[in-house]
Amino acid sequence: MLPESISFSIDPDETYLVAGAGGFIGGHLVADLRERGVKRIRAVDIKPRNQWFQRFSDVENRVMNLQELEACRAAVNGCDVVYNLAADMGGMGFIENNKALCMLSVLINTHLLTAARETGASRFFYASSACVYAAGKQGSEDNPGLVEADAYPAEPEDGYGWEKLFSERMCRHFREDFGVETRVARFHNVYGPHGSWEGGREKAPAAICRKVAQARLSGNHEIEIWGDGKQTRSFMYIDDCINGIHRFTGSRHLMEPLNLGSSEMVSIDQLVDIVEEIAGVRLRRRYNVDAPKGVRGRSSDNTRILETFGWEPSISLRDGLERTYAWIFNQMSARTAEDRGVLRMFIAPKASSSGEGEHRAASAETADAGLSLPS
């Protein structure tokens, strides 16, 4: 059988709900749907609007707590396609210390599914995670890549991973018993601009970019690394993630959860090497082996996604990190300039007329020639 059509179709006349639109992936999804000509997008998040990473004035932006059934009914009402990207989550530091909060996200998916069933939404996308995979399969840094079957017998990440595995099953049974057309992707570490890079919810790529940028800006050429630096992961750039979400959601035949991740596996030390090279610095490394570090080795086996779509995430880590580092560096240097009280002199006002994105943090433009940025 040929792989599913390489092109995926977004019907611009349908109405789309993006739950978690104030977050990293949800914000990029809204931006992408707009670019594809979708006219009716409902963007929902629990955060106050001024904390959304991306916000667009030509979109219906709503602040709601989607753990509540009535809020989910109001959010889903009139929508054809539902993307559930809302969850209380963060990097290892957050999920290891907030297991109950992570598990409460089960209410979001349960109530969104219930509402989608009631209104007869035509598609329902759920963002699952590589954290569903059994810990026993991830004990070595030479992990050859997790295959979908490695989720069972169940031994997922405590808290966050259990919630994801349960919600995957809920999607399956709503499809089998109630006919809700659910599609589930298991994301492996997604990174890129317009996401968390400080405050405790950031993940490794953003944290490393911030620490390297900080070292550069401060002149203190030392970096703390969580773990011994030998643990391995793969990282998927946000554009590949959005591309994959469309393929999964538009698929006619895909029923089971599949990996959506990069198969380019690196150690955390190699991740730091790349960011240092981009930044043009070399830092002394201090390893904090007591910090949260997660499983020893994890990557995505892409056999199934390739069979299904003839496609897999392919943006190189080097390319994606260049864009991510540049964005985080600019956030930090703009803030530094702001602290110095000179921001107004250096940064041109960002256009925010109808149709233009309004970004939460300061503009990425700086005139400080001393802070040469990767393009």
Binding positions for ligand NAD, 31-70, rule CB under 6 A:
45-47, 65-67
Q: Which of residues 293-352 bind ligand NAD (CB under 6 A)?
A: none
What residues from 104 to 133 belong to the interface with ligand NAD (CB under 6 A)?
108, 127, 129
Q: Is 249 in the site for ligand NAD (CB under 6 A)?
A: no
Three-state SS letters, 89-116: CCCHHHHHHCHHHHHHCHHHHHHHHHHH
| Catalytic residue IDs | 160
In the complex, least distance from residue 116 CB atom to ligand NAD, rounded to whole angstroms: 15
CB atoms within 10 A of CB 6: 10
**Is 226 an interacting residue with respect to ligand NAD (CB under 6 A)?**
no
Q: Look up residue 27 and give its two tokens.
A: 């914000």
Q: Of residues 76, 89, 212, 245, which one binds ligand NAD by CB under 6 A? A: 89
- Cβ 200 to ligand NAD, closest distance in Å? 11
Task: Pick one of 4, 17, 22, 366: the residue that binds ligand NAD (CB under 6 A).
Answer: 22
Instruction: For 34-94, give the DSSP string.
Output: HHTT--EEEEEESS-GGG-SEEETTSEEEE--TTSHHHHHHHHTT-SEEEE---S--SHHH
If we measure between CA atoms, which residue out of 304, 193, 187 comes closest to residue 241?
187
**Minimum CB distance to ligand NAD, residue 3 (Å):** 24
Burial class of residue 252 (count of CB atoms within 10 Å of its CB; 0-12, 13-18, 19+)? exposed
Task: Determine contact, residues 128/185, Cβ cutoff 8 Å.
Answer: yes
- The correct pick among 16, 17, 23, 211 for binding ligand NAD (CB under 6 A) is 23
Choice between 67 and 366, CB closer to ligand NAD: 67
In terms of Cα–Cα distance, which of 82, 8, 10 is closest to 43? 82
Closer residue to ligand NAD, CB minimum distance, 196 or 330: 196
Judged by beta carbon, residue 86 or residue 92, the one nearer ligand NAD is 86
Site for ligand NAD in 164-223 (CB under 6 A): 187, 189-190, 195-196, 203
Residues 6+ apart with CB under 8 A from 344: none
CB of 28 within 8 A of CB of 86? Answer: no
Query: Which of 127/268 has CB closer to ligand NAD?
Result: 127
Residues at the interface with ligand NAD (CB under 6 A)? 20, 22-26, 45-47, 65-67, 85-89, 108, 127, 129, 187, 189-190, 195-196, 203
